[in-house]
Amino acid sequence: MSVGSDVLADLVRQVRDRAPRLGSVPPDAGPSSGTRLVVIDGPAGSGKTSLAAQLGESLPAQVLHMDDLYEGWRGLEPAWERLDEWVLRPLATGRSGRYRRFDWVQDAFAEWHEVPVAPFLVVEGCGAGRLEAGTVASLRVWVEAPDGLRLARGLDRDGEAMREHWLAWMETEVEHYARNRTRERADVRLDGFGRRVT
């Protein structure tokens, strides 16, 4: 997925116009104080990673992938706890965060990555926009695509051997998104081709 220049420019404007919600932000602080967190959520294979790369380059912002926080195929729910403990809470107190990347091949957590205090941070992936994100995210973006297209994209990337994992993950997502009302709570909704949807 690649969003057009008009949609991308509007997203950048919205992020810059919103107040930072992470960090010590006194009422008289300028627009450069605190961190504006952008969460990009939606089902696997919908185009979140591509959008995050474009937005990260345009703001500019570090992009953190929830894929790096899942403990493999079984890690959708616990990933938020890692994000919150390792990254968001430190940033909320004005300190740098860090996270330990999960290595899907080795099936184990690997090296640590720093997340410095900065004006913008983009977090993309399934579960990035869960209910708890509402208190810390400046902008919540939802990306969606038809199940068949998402599965095809996923198997194209991961291989046919991952089909059962993909199907199980897709079921887990349905439950997760219903419980968190992620789509309904999003500030912006896009389809898997970068077009706005209602």
Structure tokens at 181: 């009302």
> Starting from the edge strand earliest in sequence, which strands make up the sheet with 188-191, in order?
62-65, 120-124, 36-41, 137-144, 188-191
| Rg, the chain, Cα only | 16
Residue 76 lies in a domain: yes
55: DSSP letter: H
Residue 52 lies in a domain: yes
**3-state SS, residue 35:** strand
The pLDDT value given to residue 2: 86
Residue 36 lies in a domain: yes
Q: What is the residue range of 41's domain?
A: 5-191
Residue 197 lies in a domain: no
pTM of the model: 0.94
Residues 6+ apart with CB under 8 A from 170: 43, 44, 147, 150, 151
Residue 97 lies in a domain: yes
Residue 198 lies in a domain: no
Residue 53 lies in a domain: yes
Residue 39 lies in a domain: yes
Q: What total of structural domains would you count in the chain?
A: 1
Q: How far is CA 122 from the centre of its chain?
A: 6
Q: How many other C-beta atoms are found inside a 10 Å radius of the C-beta of residue 131?
A: 12
Answer for the pair 137, 186: CB distance below 8 angstroms, yes or no.
no
pLDDT tens, position by position, for the chain (198 residues)? 889 999 999 999 999 999 999 986 555 545 557 999 999 999 999 999 999 999 999 999 999 999 999 999 988 999 999 999 999 999 999 999 999 999 999 999 999 999 999 999 999 999 999 999 999 999 999 999 999 999 999 999 999 999 999 999 999 999 999 999 999 999 999 999 999 998
Instruction: Report d(CA 117, CA 30) in Å as an integer.
Output: 16
Q: Which residue has the tokens 């939606």?
A: 42
- Whether residue 43 has a cis bond before it, omega within 30° of 0: no
CATH number at residue 36: 3.40.50.300
